[in-house]
């Protein structure tokens, strides 16, 4: 239960569920929340192969003073989402902050993309965001408090060849967030997006070096982001300092695109 905040512990006592947090931005957000005073952080990972990585993130969270639990669940599956949220409530007692961060990338032109690939990318990003939000809202309403932060992308605004499913999903997340914000504002629940630019995470591992160099060269600040450049936006939106943000998109992208 929230007991108060300080400048150095803006999330003091809060509980958080972060989907897709066994690596990358999600893992960075989990650690940042712990540093900001969160009491409990639930780590989500998609498949058993990610179990060790998820437990390593949970252990880092514990070393920073918060409790942690790692739970495997495919966020595009309604039954698995229900199990994930039940486990989070059983462990932490409530969910104050939901970060919908789970995502996958796949590059293909529209004419070459298998329909199953389109469905999978949309399912993880967009359906997963809906399912988790749908599942946690009743508890947030009951507590009279909630922070929902959805991971979008600057590519939702500028597009990218070969990434139509990804950009469509991220654009859908932004639109979903705006509609959600109009529904929930009077309930002291906030819904916002973070739309990072190109960030050094495992999702970029398959991108050829020359392509990454071209991306870097096009960013006004002259470099890709590190995870540490991205996570402060999540902490801000989760904290009391972000209480007047509703339906907004923060985009730490180095000037790659102006919102």
The catalytic residues are 166
Q: What CA–CA distances, in Å, run from 1 to 202, 240, 242?
A: 34, 15, 19
Q: How far is Cα 37 from Cα 61, in angstroms, rounded to an integer?
A: 11
Q: Exposed (0-12), middle (13-18) or buried (19+): which is 47, by Cβ within 10 Å?
A: exposed
Strand, helix or coil at 194? strand
242 token code pair: 């972000």
Q: Which residue shows structure tokens 């940042």? A: 32
Which residues is 99 bridged to in the sheet? 18, 149
């Amino acid at each position: 239960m929230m007991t108060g905040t300080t400048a150095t512990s803006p999330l003091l006592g809060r509980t958080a569920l972060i989907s897709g947090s066994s690596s990358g931005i999600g893992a960075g957000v989990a650690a940042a929340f712990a540093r900001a005073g969160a009491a409990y952080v639930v780590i989500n990972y998609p498949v058993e192969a990610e179990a060790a990585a998820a437990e390593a993130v949970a252990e880092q969270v514990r070393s920073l003073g918060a409790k942690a639990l790692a739970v495997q669940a495919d966020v595009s599956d309604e039954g698995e989402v229900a199990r994930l949220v039940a486990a989070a409530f059983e462990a932490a007692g409530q969910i104050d902050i939901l970060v919908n961060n789970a995502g996958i990338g796949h590059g293909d032109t529209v004419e070459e993309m298998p329909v199953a690939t389109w469905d999978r990318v949309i399912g993880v990003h967009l359906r997963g965001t809906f399912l988790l939000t749908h599942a946690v809202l009743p508890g947030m309403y009951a507590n009279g408090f909630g922070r929902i932060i959805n991971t979008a992308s600057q590519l939702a605004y500028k597009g990218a060849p070969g990434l139509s499913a990804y950009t469509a999903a991220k654009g859908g997340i932004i639109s979903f967030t705006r509609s959600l914000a109009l529904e929930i504002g009077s309930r002291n629940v906030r819904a916002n997006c973070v739309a990072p630019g190109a960030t050094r995470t495992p999702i970029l591992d398959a991108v050829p070096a020359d392509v990454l160099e071209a991306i870097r060269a096009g960013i006004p600040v002259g470099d890709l982001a590190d995870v540490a450049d991205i996570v402060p936006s999540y902490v801000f939106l989760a904290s009391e300092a972000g209480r007047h943000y509703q339906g907004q998109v923060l985009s730490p992208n180095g000037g790659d695109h102006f919102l």
